[in-house]
């Protein structure tokens, strides 16, 4: 089974609101990465958090990691219609695997 599982499966918000997506995983990891996928395209890397880090920021993105709970969250602040995409967490231990993703829709 896949290592990372995102929650919720789908999220619909209004422009300007914050979007929070969660990821849970099963085994120990070296790092956790979040990726974005626009429809029909390959995944694009957003942010990486190492196993010894608890929080990381990049622009409007904030990622947290709780290794004791084996979970991570991605917060997108002040969302825009252009943020509409699928978001995946990737976990790397001995290989890089992904969950089912969260489909985010930001309504103008």
In whole angstroms, give the CA distance from residue 101 to residue 98.
8
* 41, 103 Cβ separation under 8 angstroms: no
Rule CB under 8 A: is residue 25 a binding residue for another protein? no
The CB-of-26 to another protein minimum distance in angstroms stands at 13
User: Which residue stretch of 17-25, 26-34, 59-67, 74-82 sits at the interface with another protein (rule: CB under 8 A)?
Assistant: 26-34
Distances (CA, A) of 77 to 3, 28, 37, 67, 93: 26, 29, 18, 23, 29
Q: Does the protein bind another protein through residue 19 (CB under 8 A)?
A: no
Interface with another protein: number of residues (CB under 8 A): 26
Cis peptide preceding 8, ω within 30 of 0: yes
Q: How far is the CB of 7 from another protein (least distance, A)?
A: 13
Q: Which H or E run includes 9?
A: none
Q: Is 42 a residue that touches another protein (CB under 8 A)?
A: yes
Binding footprint of another protein on the chain (CB under 8 A): 1-2, 6, 30-31, 33, 35, 40-45, 48, 50, 88, 90, 92-93, 95-101
């Amino acid at each position: 089974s896949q290592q990372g599982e995102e929650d919720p499966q789908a999220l619909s918000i209004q422009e300007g609101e914050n979007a929070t997506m969660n990821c849970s995983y099963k085994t120990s990891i070296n790092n956790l990465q979040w990726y974005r996928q626009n429809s029909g395209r390959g995944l694009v890397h957003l942010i990486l958090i190492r196993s010894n880090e608890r929080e990381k920021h990049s622009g409007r993105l904030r990622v947290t990691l709780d290794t004791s709970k084996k979970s991570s969250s991605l917060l997108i602040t002040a969302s825009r219609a252009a943020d509409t995409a699928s978001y995946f967490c990737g976990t790397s231990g001995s290989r890089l695997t992904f969950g089912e993703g969260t489909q985010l829709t930001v309504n103008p």
